[in-house]
Amino acid sequence: MAALILHEYANSGNCYKIRLTAALVGVPLDRREYDILKGETRTPAFLTQINGNGRIPVLQIGEKLLPESNAACFWLAEGSPLIPEDRFDRADMLRWMFFEQYNHEPNIATLRFWLAFVGENALTDAQRASIPARRAGGDAALAVMERHLRGGAGFFVGDRISLADICLYAYTHVAHEGGFDLGAYPAISAWIAAVARTPGYLPITA
């Protein structure tokens, strides 16, 4: 396999997803850290050589570059049990991965980043004004997850872990850092514990 380099900001749940997927499929990653608080992913060199969208993570596969965390997880997990073989289940896994990027990450990850890393006093007025909508959106996403897990078999797609779980876990298990109270979501809390018991699991701080 070509050498794999993860261009990342280690505290980011989007980067952690990729590290966790790689660990669960047993693939080593080299890691290159960029401080997004210092704008290191918006430099001309980064924009021209790594990602014109100015964002991490980017998974480098030999000479090829793959932005978008969930796409990188998909590449890593191809052929592994983390992607269901059944056609509907595979699409249903992607359904939760798209839900994560649309309904979950912009609310829960953004509030975590603003409150735990940037600091509320350093936010712009527009950012601060959007907090109530992001708080409501994040709780709505958690409520959708809670109802789904209550009616299910332990994981998002069936009874075994898939990329759907890994991608949703990344920011859900640290949602309290964004001010979300996971005590209100018992099925999510049980699922978080189940993901962390997966053989090969590593924490976001690893």
Binding site for its own copies (CB under 8 A): 52-53, 61, 64, 66-72, 74-75, 78, 87-88, 90-92, 94-95, 97-99, 101-103, 105-106, 126, 129-130, 133, 144, 147-148
Smaller CB separation from its own copies, 70 or 172: 70
Task: Please state the closest distance from residue 132 (CB atom) to its own copies, in A.
Answer: 8
Smaller CB separation from its own copies, 49 or 53: 53
Task: Please state the closest distance from residue 119 (CB atom) to its own copies, in A.
Answer: 20
Task: Please state the closest distance from residue 116 (CB atom) to its own copies, in A.
Answer: 21
Smaller CB separation from its own copies, 37 or 133: 133
Sheet holding 30-33, edge to edge: 30-33, 4-8, 58-61, 64-67
| 150: CB partners within 8 A, 6+ apart | 187
Task: Please state the closest distance from residue 199 (CB atom) to its own copies, in A.
Answer: 25
Smaller CB separation from its own copies, 150 or 203: 150
Task: Please state the closest distance from residue 45 (CB atom) to its own copies, in A.
Answer: 16
- Please give the C-alpha separations between residue 102 and each of 29, 107, 132, in angstroms, as whole numbers: 27, 9, 17
Smaller CB separation from its own copies, 40 or 68: 68
Separation between Cα atoms, residue 3 and residue 56, nearest integer Å = 18
